[in-house]
Structure 1
Amino acid sequence: MACDICGCGGSNIYMGLLPNFKNKFIGVRYRYSEFHTTLAGDPTQFSHNYYNTFELWSGWNIGKRWQVLAFVPYYSNRQMDDDGSSSKNGLGDITLLVNYQLLHSRKSTASANTIEQILWIGGGIKLPTGSFKLDLRDSNTTVADINAQIGTGSTDFLVNLMHDLRINMFGINTSVTYKINTANSSGYRYGNKLMANVIGYYRLRFAGIAVSPNAGVIFENTEANHYADAKVQYTGGHVLSAVAGVEVSYDRIAIGFNVQHALAQDYAGGQTKMQFRGMAHISFAF
């Protein structure tokens, strides 16, 4: 009998630090996450879930105050459990965001410090381009099957805020994104999701190369899923993670990576644990 609650699905959202760009950028991100599940009442039932995301992302500044961002993910997910192994691959749900620059100020203090801050607010839409193929009326369908889907099958909406405060070479980046999910054609609705991060960074320059080591915390909260207006057991949860990484840019090219380690978490009543998350990217400004 396979583990019924394994994994943590629902099209994860992640903003992170955006590359510095004046007009446009395009790039590729790779994200990896790993979850392990062991049933409390029967430790012989377990699963290890590995989520690989290859994402094309791009941004355009329109005038001085408008910004458009696009995220096109491709998923390669693998599940190993007490009943064997399985995998799913395919195009995920595409997300489009539009942001408005509410504030951009720069001033120098009497002590020769330069203080600059930028505040963006915006919203967007997640399109059901990924595959969701399940017969939810089948009594054998489990939460594990639902979490393994490439897409949610629903059109969802996002609101977000991004704030960057920089004093000379030191900066603090704060971003908050909230995703409001709707029910798909099968009547299944993934739980709304909140992700917030606060990341400090320090910008160094060496012969035209900018290096920015960074560290901070990320909080993610996922509400319970619902099917036919009823709450689905063992869904939803939260995790607080420490994150550390580095961003490097030269001319129009930027590369970076980070790793995340869970400090506190609660998924499926403690039966599911996030083991690791990481991200790497390369982008080109033009």
Structure 2
Amino acid sequence: MYVRKLLLAMLVLLCPVMTKACDACGCGIGGGGFGLLSLYRNNFVGLSYGGLPFRSKLTSGEYTGTEDVFHLLELQLRYEIMPGWRVDAVMPYRHNVRISPDGDDTLEGLGDLRFGVNYVLADNRPLGQQGGSWYWEAGLVLSAPTGAYQADLLDQRYLPDNFNLGRGALGYGLRSALVLNHQRVGLSLSGRHLRYAKSDAHYRFGAETSLSAQVFSQFSYDPHWKLIPFVGLNYERTAANETVDALPVHATGGKALLAAAGVNVRYDDFTIGVVASLPLAQDYAEGMTELGFSRQIQILYNF
């Protein structure tokens, strides 16, 4: 029974993630959730920071000396409006930096505001005779074009379109999260797919897909402290952008498989979490951009 439920849940989740630079770079940060948020099913407000570094390469594999770093600060809110229904909102602030032999450049400001609504399909239901429980929620996600978007960013400042603070268009998609618990050990599975409409300049950013699987363990030292270490795999894919004529843009899009590890420390109603990711396999901008070591930290207050 346990194996059948696990296989079913995985199937549902999988069906719903210049100087040469790629327009997929920086898209994954903050987009797919953080750590084991689905474990904190009550209301919370939080603040998170993450950074993604990319290095540019020539087709020969030689590094060009150009590095792009995408910093993201997010204010997050999640609230249960009625039994079984949870809504959330995320306000991002982006700080994008290019370090280049031709000169450095920076673009910063508010990004696209994201909203979500989720319905709880299973809330701590028993797994079977051997104990344990499972939790499953699914819903919709919406991205509003509140961040600044410049259609001529490449011509004016020689920066790729992904350096824009916003996508210049409405984004919409589906997401799902599943948590399986058995005594102190658990498995967290999540997935999200987000598509974008065309911008005012009729440019369309590629659809974003992310999948995550994390194994975790919970340790309670007293009524106040809880420690949750975890390891897992993340898969992220961004489709190629499209021009006004709906043609794919050269050297845009990419995908990566990442190994992730982190820990969440909870004291009463406060939670601090850190996670680090390292690519196991990647292909950004047709191999001309390379993702490095990324990290993320978050502080939550549960209420």
- TM-score greater than 0.5 by the shorter chain: yes
Counterparts of 1:59-208 in structure 2 under 5 Å? 59-107=78-126, 113-135=130-152, 144-207=159-222, 208=224
1:213 aligns with 2:235: no
User: Percent identity of the aligned residues?
Assistant: 27
2:189–2:214: 8 Å Cα contact kept in structure 1?
Answer: yes
* Aligned residue identity for 1:203: Q
> CA–CA distance in 2 between the matches of 1:72 and 1:31?
14
The alignment partner of 1:130 has SS state of: coil
TM-score normalised by length of structure 2: 0.87
Judged with a 3 Å threshold, the aligned counterparts in structure 2 of structure 1 residues 179 and 161 are, in CA distance, closer, same or farther, namely same
Judge conservation of contact 1:218–1:240 (CA < 8 Å) in 2.
yes
Q: Residue in 2 aligned with 1:51?
A: 70
1:244-277 superposed Cα distances (whole Å, 9 cap, x missing partner): 0000111100110000000000011211110021
| 8 Å Cα contact 1:3/1:39 also seen in 2 | no
14-23 or 84-93, which moves further after superposition? 14-23
Residue-pair matches, total: 281
1:23 Cα shift?
4.3
Q: CA RMSD in A?
A: 2.1
Structure 1 residue runs without a partner (length 5+): none
More strand by share: 1
8 Å contact kept, 1:60–1:68: yes
Please give the TM-score of this superposition, normalised by the length of structure 1.
Answer: 0.92
- Segments of 5+ residues of structure 2 without an aligned counterpart are 1-17
Flag the 1:210–1:231 CA change in 2: closer, same or farther, 3 A. same
2:295 corresponds in structure 1 to 278
Q: Deviations over 1:88-139 (max 9, x none)?
A: 11000110000001122433865xx531101111002100011112327x86
1:39 matched residue in structure 2: 58
Q: State how far apart, in whole Å, the 1-side matches of 2:255 and 2:63 are.
A: 25
Pairwise CA distance, 1:11: 6.8
Contact 2:138–2:175 (CA<8 Å) still a contact in 1? yes
- SS for the counterpart of 2:209 is strand
Find the counterpart in structure 1 of residue 249 from structure 2: 232
Q: Which moved more, 1:37-46 or 1:57-66?
A: 37-46
Residue of 280, 283, 291 corresponding to 1:266? 283
The offset of 1:38, in angstroms, is 1.4
* The structure with more helix, counted as a fraction of residues: 2
